[in-house]
Amino acid sequence: MHIESDLKLDFSDVLIRPKRSTLRSRAEVDITRTFRFRHPGSEWTGFPLIASNMDTIGTTRMARALVQFNAMAALHKHYSADTLVEFFANEDSRNTFYTMGNTDADLEKFTYVKSKAHLTKLNIDVANGYTENFLENVARIRAASPDAILMAGSIVTAEMAEALILAGADIVRVGIGSGSVCTTRDLTGVGYPQLSAVIECADAAHGLKGHVCSDGGCTAPGDIAKAFGGGADFVMIGGMLAGHRECGGEIRYETRDGEDVPVAMQFYGMSSDTAMKKHYGGVAEYRASEGRTVDVPYKGCVSETMQEITGGLRSMMTYIGAVRLKEVPKRTTFVITSSQRDKLFNK
């Protein structure tokens, strides 16, 4: 047994210190980035926020809405092959990742869709990115798709970020147990404070010309700002996009003054009972549900939430004097909040 006693931080443990700046307005800042990817050598420019591949969030409607902001989406993996072929034939799919798991059926479906559509962005999504089998699959998919931008995860430690990049990933997804409807930490005791995971994995990945995507744990635009400040190249969000018109799932209505008004939507983890029943007919006997099901208030069109996110980020950049998103980590100083310091140092 080993105890790691270094300080490890979550988004809520810190604030970003303001810095003197010559910027006069948030309109002067640029929230897009241009990346050159390690394996294909290709470039992508845009706002590096990704809608999570949860079946309520990573929908084709969400992808079409986010591309208006030059942001990205990872489609969920439960669409039929034909729906995916049709979607990826469209120009609106340019910022969208095709998502697959680690099973033979996932590989078979991928091979079929790839034979019919040009897939430029791939996302290999497993709950536990620490298995040899996963690394082998990343290498196999890289070999089969040398020109694609390949994202893979999830992991939370530097050595695994390096292993994934060397196996063929361009972007490593960082986050275990950090999701808003995830119960992995409660059920298994496994996890890693998200901000520290991002800082440590980004350092390792950048040394190899790879990139990282902070996945999970953002509850407000300020958390997205902190993830970029910690060195995340991309930020993936689920819960912050839940409850919108572009989401999958039923809208719950209430009758008010004789009118049916939308009030809530269901949102659930992809390992929750709800998702397992929907896609696999139930939770397999050898595993337990690692996700929650919640009702979230109905929020209407996602464009308002996106305005709030981009507005928050622009404002944070003016506070720290970063003209471009790329400069944000260099200009970020995190301050541990005093309430957290008391807790962390047991005062």
Q: Which of residues 238-257 bind ligand 5GP (CB under 6 A)?
A: 238-239
What 3-state DSSP class applies to 180? coil
Rg (CA), the chain: 20
- The 139-178 contact track toward ligand 5GP, x by CB under 6 A, reads ---------------x--------------------x---
Active site includes 182? yes
Number of residues that bind ligand 5GP (CB under 6 A): 24
Catalytic residue, candidates 182, 201, 218, 247: 182
What distance in Å separates the CA atoms of residue 340 and residue 346, rounded to the nearest whole number? 9
Strands 251-256 and 259-268, sheet pairing: antiparallel
Q: 77 or 114, CB closer to ligand 5GP?
A: 77
Residue with tokens 């790329």: 326
Q: Which of residues 95-134 bind ligand 5GP (CB under 6 A)?
A: 127
Which residues does 261 contact at the CB level (< 8 Å), separation at least 6? 253, 254, 255
Q: One-letter amino acid identity for 111?
A: T
- For the CB of residue 173, give the shortest distance to ligand 5GP in the complex, in Å: 7
Q: Decide: is 215 part of the binding site for ligand 5GP (CB under 6 A).
A: yes
- For the CB of residue 129, give the shortest distance to ligand 5GP in the complex, in Å: 11
Strands 211-215 and 234-237, sheet pairing: parallel
Which residues does 197 contact at the CB level (< 8 Å), separation at least 6? 156, 157, 174, 175, 176, 178, 214
- For the CB of residue 103, give the shortest distance to ligand 5GP in the complex, in Å: 17
Strands 211-215 and 171-174, sheet pairing: parallel
- For the CB of residue 11, give the shortest distance to ligand 5GP in the complex, in Å: 10
Q: Decide: is 236 part of the binding site for ligand 5GP (CB under 6 A).
A: yes
What distance in Å separates the CA atoms of residue 283 and residue 216, rounded to the nearest whole number? 23
Start-to-end CA span in the chain (Å): 27
Q: Which of residues 32-71 bind ligand 5GP (CB under 6 A)?
A: 52, 54
| Lookup: tokens for 230 | 């910690």
What distance in Å separates the CA atoms of residue 168 and residue 152, rounded to the nearest whole number? 9
Q: Decide: is 231 part of the binding site for ligand 5GP (CB under 6 A).
A: no
Of 113, 218, 225, 325, the residue at the interface with ligand 5GP (CB under 6 A) is 218
Q: Binding segment for ligand 5GP among 94-102, 143-151, 263-271, 312-320 (CB under 6 A)? A: 263-271
- For the CB of residue 194, give the shortest distance to ligand 5GP in the complex, in Å: 9
Residue with tokens 């047994």: 1
- For the CB of residue 321, give the shortest distance to ligand 5GP in the complex, in Å: 28
Which residues does 2 contact at the CB level (< 8 Å), separation at least 6? none
Q: Binding segment for ligand 5GP among 13-21, 158-166, 233-241, 315-323 (CB under 6 A)? A: 233-241
Residues designated catalytic: 182
Give me the residues that bind ligand 5GP (CB under 6 A), please. Answer: 52, 54, 127, 154, 175, 179-182, 184, 215-218, 236-239, 269-272, 290-291
